[in-house]
Amino acid sequence: MQLPKHVRLVEVGPRDGLQNESTPVSAETKIELINRLSDAGIVNIESSSFVSPKWVPQMGDAKSVFSGITYKEGVTYSALTPNMRGLEGAIESDVKEVAVFVAATDEFNQKNLNRTTKDCMAQIEPVVVAALEQGIKVRSYVSCIMGCPYAGDVNPAQVAALAKELVDLGCYEVSLGDTIGKGTPLLAQTVFEETAKLVPINQLAAHFHDTYGQALANLLAVLQLGVSVIDSSVAGLGGCPYAKGASGNVATEDVLYMLKGLNIETGIDLPKVIAAGNFITEHLGRANTSKIALAGFSG
Ligand code: HMG
Ligand code: MG
């Protein structure tokens, strides 16, 4: 089995995880979570979103979060920015990396961004251009890659075409999101193979939600294609506010456990991540949904 030797893990729990939590979480708690994650050795942390607080109230404190982080050298603390207003917020908070996002279907884009896919791309373009002019790195997402809650099946060629457009605009990486977590391993390979015809595989990341319990299997499937960047969420937090029923991203703890067993290095301290997961789920008043945390793994 051909696998990468090293995986770069992008922790999205503070953003993708918490954005869907209805229990209010204070900026102070979010900051402590982010600090604990960096202390565990995670070097990419998507920390918040500069989006409309009417649409995603939990992310309304992005400015406070970014002003309170204990910044650690070598760690990238990124933010989601859907439009110019979002980018302006990120610049004011001195954010060094932003992420833009678009779904593979018009139906999802209408719900999530109030626009068609074409109009989303038109909105993204000036954000990417302006961010790059300011020396801010831009990551990107294509979501609903293996199914859309409103349109059903998704054509892999559409995912590939959008990923190419994003890279052509200047995004350094495209994270392919199974937003509703319905995908299975063969489909995951098909979508990544199709996309890799247009975008080098080392510019693709896997962002799998675990709604149907398929995320680890799907990750193993795409690792075998050479994918070496994985998004995950501590304690399996979250979901997407515009994908009803979608559960959180695959849990960071479970991904780390699997990667260790595959002899793939990450440089991350798993027990510290479990402790961070327990910290945030205690604040949310519920259990850590990571399987290995639930099983009592202690290192
Ligand atoms: P809109 O209604 O089309 O925009 O929303 P608008 O320009 O008409 O503005 C509406 C209001 O929002 C105005 O305020 C704006 O000022 C304000 P009002 O005049 O009504 O008081 N506004 C903003 N406020 C703060 N920050 C901003 C901002 N922009 C406008 N940046 C908009 C367009 C993009 C704002 C809206 O659709 C939005 O915020 N959507 C949120 C989308 C979101 O965060 N979704 C979840 C993240 S995506 C995801 O989870 C998937 C992913 O994880 C990958 C995967 O899983 O596959 C990435
Ligand atoms: Mg997501």
Closest-approaching ligand to the CA atom of 179: 1
Residues with CB under 6 A from ligand 1: 16, 19, 49-52, 54-56, 80, 82-83, 85-86, 89, 101, 112-114, 141, 143, 177, 179, 207, 209, 240-241
Provide DSSP, 112-152.
HHSS-HHHHHHHHHHHHHHHHHTT-EEEEEEE-TT-BTTTB
246: confidence class by pLDDT, cuts 50, 70, 90: low
What is residue 48's predicted lDDT score, i.e. its pLDDT?
98
pTM of the model: 0.97
Integer Cα distance of 11 and 76 in angstroms:
10
- Token digits for 278? 């327990």
Summarize pLDDT for 97-153 with one digit per residue, the tens.
Answer: 999 999 999 999 999 889 999 999 999 999 999 999 999 999 999 999 999 999 999
Summarize pLDDT for 27-79 with one digit per residue, the tens.
Answer: 999 999 999 999 999 999 999 999 999 999 999 999 999 999 999 999 999 99
Integer Cα distance of 29 and 145 in angstroms:
32
C-alpha pair distances (Å), 157 with each of 149, 167, 233: 19, 15, 28
Whether residue 239 has pLDDT greater than 80: no
Choose which residue among 51, 81, 116, 120 to substitute to test ligand 1 binding: the one with the highest number of ligand atoms within 8 A of its C-beta.
51
Active-site choice (120, 144, 171, 240):
240
Please give the distance, rounded to the nearest whole angstrom, from the Cα atom of residue 17 to the centre of ligand 2. 8
Q: Assess if CATH 3.40.50.300 describes domain 8-294.
A: no
Integer Cα distance of 271 and 34 in angstroms:
16
Confirm if 3 and 264 have CB atoms less than 8 A apart. Answer: yes
Instruction: Please confirm, yes or no, whether 240 is among the known catalytic residues.
Output: yes
Which residues, chain by chain, have CB under 5 Å from ion ligand 2? 16
Please give the distance, rounded to the nearest whole angstrom, from the Cα atom of residue 131 to the centre of ligand 1. 18
Q: In 3-state terms, what secondary structure has residue 94?
A: coil
Integer Cα distance of 17 and 31 in angstroms:
14
Burial 149-176 (b: 16+ CB within 10 A, else e): bbeeebebebbbbbbebbbebebebbbb
Integer Cα distance of 159 and 229 in angstroms:
18
Domain ranges of the chain: 8-294
